[in-house]
Amino acid sequence: MVSESKTKNPIILVQDYHFALLPKMIREQLPDATIITFWHIPWPNPESFAICPWRDEVLAGLLGSSILGFHTQFHCNNFVDTVDRFLEARVDRESFNVSFGGKLTAVRRYPISIAWPPEPQVLQKPVADCRAAIRQLNDLPPEHKLGIGVDRLDYTKGIIERFRAIERLLELNPQWIGQFTFVQIAAPTRAGIDEYQHHEAQVRAMATRINTRFARQGPPPIVLKVEHHEPLAVYEYCRAADLCFVSSLHDGMNLVAKEFVAARDDERGVLVLSQFTGAARELAEALIVNPYDADQCAAALHMALTMPVAEQRDRMRLMRGLVAEFNVFRWAGRMLLDAAAMRRRGRLIDKPGATSA
């Protein structure tokens, strides 16, 4: 990276937890660089972070950044609390700046999003055609109610909790047995790790048990697809579904929620969204749920399946407006604008005779 830099003061963007130590390493080689680090996953509270054997090294590495970004203010607060607890650093809670080792790091909220408008090809197929094609593909009747989930097969995504909620829905509202099917697209991930193999086995076993329990004439409650799907196929499912259920137990943002909203240019469909996602702080018109509460989730699913078209449109219009305005280009632009402003302030302070307030 140093060899690729054409100046002594470049703007460098570091992304995600894999590179937690990198900002400090860059700072040591390029002390005048403006380093933006974006952390894509949640930052825990100090008590949880305390178990990390390398906590001081991780914090010092990240504080090599000029700007450190998180999805939500809650994660910014947790990071600042963590620094205050474990490092000899000066924390300004009004400006959310941290002074450590003679350098200043600005801790900022930058909620990530998706591109807007979506690529034309993903919206090319009309919603009515998507509905028909997806139902035919999964051997479902034309007017069958359809829910979808799209996730990596990761225990943090709450797929077990999601299936438990679907089971509870069918217990409390048996009229949906044979009338509602949930298609879970689960992309395999980290298959070489024992915990992930065990999680996949649990997910498969639970889907089989629920389908066996509610086996009647008609389609099964759950269709589990443990396979990779290309974006075009995912968007087709999003456009075909009556609801999308995002039940993450802990997520920095969760872009599936925003992709579902972007896919619905018909302004139909209902988003059921975990309160433990960053997206829940933006998409307030979704049905926000605690994924650990099966009864609450079942009630939200029933509400989604019976929601009047006018209410679906009111909710979807507001969410689409937000995703359109706060898109991924604005996310990147805000970070770069803040970096440029920081550089300008630095030049002013460094001028001979300049004083800082």
Cβ-in-10-Å burial (0-12, 13-18, 19+) of 270 comes to buried
> Is there a catalytic annotation at residue 251?
yes
> Would you call 229 a catalytic residue per the annotation?
no
| Residue tagged active-site, from 40, 229, 250, 302 | 40
Question: Which listed residue (151, 154, 242, 251) is catalytic?
Answer: 251
How far is the C-alpha of 79 from the C-alpha of 47, rounded, in Å?
11
Residue 260 and residue 279: Cα distance in Å, rounded?
Answer: 12
CA 2 to chain centre: 32
Query: Residue 330: exposed, middle, or buried by beta-carbon count in 10 A (0-12, 13-18, 19+)?
Result: middle
Q: Which residues contact 220 (CB under 8 A, 6 or more apart)?
A: 181, 211, 214
Sheet architecture: strand order including 97-100: 11-15, 34-38, 67-70, 103-109, 97-100, 90-92
Distances (CA, A) of 165 to 155, 222, 246, 250: 16, 12, 12, 17
Q: Where in the sequence numbering do the catalytic residues fall?
A: 40, 251
